[in-house]
């Protein structure tokens, strides 16, 4: 079973886990990620260091990048975060906050929408950690509750056009049996950059099994007309691969 991976991060981990479970891993990253230079959001980091009432963490890596950016400016951002009400969008962000000694007060299901009923009423100052793009749904909801919103974008995503075309050729050429996505942005980049998105959709609904880590990624596939073969709700690579193997065994049985 040849299983392709569209992610950029943790490629070697995916490869090792897949081989351990008897799969043949293929690496086809469709995205590139770049850190936003600290000077571009230096003023927002300094505002965060002065204290906030609410902190919304959307990704684990983004939280770590924020703390690193603070260190580069000589700021200890853990202190203001300890004094804030902390929300995590999903399991990964929650896990990172706990590892940093900043356990979340509430956790969503991985979607921005799930955070809406968890947002406390303002007024106050809310720091919103973005994951590569603006989040108008959350920004507007925070403003409506009386918060002054402090958006913080430590990194941004870019499509890897060469990787997208390589993956499309492999999928349409019958070189891939399953394709794993770990983020919604990977689904978007693949379909938006593909030469023939219709043929891609057909392949992922027939001979190639689409796998998704997390509900948000699965929803992105459905929005492009693809029914995921397997969705892992724990947002872990190992769990996804193990669950996929079990699902294959059930299908054969």
User: Max CA-CA distance within the chain?
Assistant: 59
Least confident of 71-75, 155-159, 199-203, 235-239: 235-239
Domains annotated on the chain, with CATH: 1-30+159-250 (3.40.50.10090), 37-152 (3.40.50.10090)
In what side-by-side order are the strands of the sheet with 2-5?
Answer: 24-27, 2-5, 178-181, 209-213, 230-232
Q: How high does pLDDT run on average in the chain?
A: 93
**Using CA atoms, how far apart are residues 248 and 243, in angstroms rounded to an integer?**
9
pLDDT digits (tens, 9 = 90+) for 164-187: 999 999 999 999 999 999 988 999
Global pTM reads 0.74
**Using CA atoms, how far apart are residues 213 and 204, in angstroms rounded to an integer?**
16
pLDDT grade for 253, boundaries at 50, 70 and 90: low
pLDDT digits (tens, 9 = 90+) for 192-223: 999 999 999 999 999 999 999 888 899 999 99
Residue 197 φ/ψ, nearest 5 degrees: -60, -30
* 234 has pLDDT over 80: no
pLDDT digits (tens, 9 = 90+) for 79-99: 999 999 999 998 889 999 999
| 152 contacts 127 by C-beta, under 8 angstroms | yes
């Amino acid at each position: 079973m040849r299983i392709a991976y569209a992610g950029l991060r943790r490629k070697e981990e995916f490869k090792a886990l897949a081989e351990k479970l008897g799969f043949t891993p293929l690496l086809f990253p469709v995205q590139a990620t770049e850190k936003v230079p600290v000077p571009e959001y230096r003023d927002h980091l300094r505002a965060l260091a002065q204290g906030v009432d609410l902190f919304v963490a959307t990704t684990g890596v983004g939280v770590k990048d924020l703390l690193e950016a603070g260190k580069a400016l000589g700021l200890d951002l853990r202190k203001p975060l300890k004094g804030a009400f902390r929300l995590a969008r999903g399991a990964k962000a929650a896990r990172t906050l706990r590892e940093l000694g900043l356990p979340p007060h509430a956790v969503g299901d991985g979607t921005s929408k799930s955070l809406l009923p968890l947002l406390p009423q303002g007024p106050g100052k809310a720091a919103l950690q973005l994951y590569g793009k603006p989040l108008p749904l959350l920004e507007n909801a925070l403003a409506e509750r009386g918060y002054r919103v402090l958006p913080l974008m430590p990194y941004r995503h870019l499509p890897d056009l060469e990787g997208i075309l390589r993956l499309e050729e492999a999928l349409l050429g019958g070189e891939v049996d399953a394709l794993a996505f770990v983020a919604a942005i990977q689904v978007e980049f693949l379909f938006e950059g593909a030469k023939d998105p219709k043929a891609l959709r057909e392949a992922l609904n027939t001979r190639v099994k689409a796998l998704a880590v997390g509900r948000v990624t699965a929803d992105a596939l459905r929005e492009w007309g693809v029914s995921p073969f397997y969705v892992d709700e724990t947002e872990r690579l190992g769990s996804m691969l193990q669950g996929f193997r079990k699902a294959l065994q059930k299908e054969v049985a």
